[in-house]
Copies of this chain bind each other. A is one copy, B any other.
Amino acid sequence: MDSKSDAAPPEIARQIVVSGASDVPRVGDTRLHDMLSGPERKALNAIGSVDTYPNADMTIFREGDRARNLYAIASGIVRICRHLDGLDRQVLSFLWPGDIFGLIGDDGLYVNCASTVSAARIHRFPLNRLEPMLLRNPRLQCHLLIKINHDLRAAQRQIITLGHADTYHRLASFLIEMIQHAASSEPDGVRLRLPMARNDIADYLGTTPETVSRGLQRMEREGIMRRISPRVLKFEDLSGLLRLARR
């Protein structure tokens, strides 16, 4: 195991957090509010309201429900998933504050279901008020286009992760994704607090909680990170992690 890159965690950390490994979008790029000028933001706020979900694992909407709203996360984490046959499910994405969701099929029904991973506050914009606004406001529509573009690229990145790599490398990709969202850089490494359970990670990566555990175990054995607690990881060799995820 070569250790020529164990030396400088801070710059590697910056490399990951600032610019992303490949084409990972910077955090905040997809925030609808951030990209709007004053009056547009005000108009948007006028038709929206904020719901509070006090707990994890609360349903926001189900696949097949009639789509009435577009949602935007103010705080907390949301998971988008599809249920397959009873108990089997695939987590399509984890969403963070600023992200928008509510993908609608041609039939006007939600394609996926959405639920909270943690407690959350979520903006809700009724479609019947949003739609005329979009038609009158090409700039707002354009922002939505950009946002969906981001989602599409994110989906393609996951296709690559799922199609190409074995579980160990998938896990590395996932952790980098998480670090880009939620890591705090510290003098002795990068601290990552995972908001979701092993179960969620497994369903996101198309594997099982057991295999996720074993992957983390192996990373610890190989000196990439340490498990402070099940949900808190401290990375000591980020370049090693990057090397694992390198596609």
Contacts and interface: CB of A to CB of B under 8 A. Distances in A.
A85 B246 contact: yes
Interface string A145-180: 100110111011011101110000000000000000
Interface in A23-69: 23, 25, 29
A67 B162 CA distance: 27
Interface string A98-140: 0000011110000110000000000000000000001110100
Contacts of A185: none
Interface string A203-246: 11110000000000000000000000000000000000000001
Contacts of A203: 163
Nearest to A112: B156
A85 B135 CA distance: 44
Interface residues of A, number: 42
A31 B141 CA distance: 20
Judged by DSSP, the binding face of A is helix
A29 B106 contact: yes
Contacts of A1: none
Contact of A141 (B138, B153, B163, B204): B138
A106 B164 CA distance: 24
Interface string A68-98: 0000000000000010110010101000000
Nearest to A162: B162
A144 interface: yes
Contacts of A144: 145
A247 interface: yes
A8 interface: no
A148 B152 contact: yes
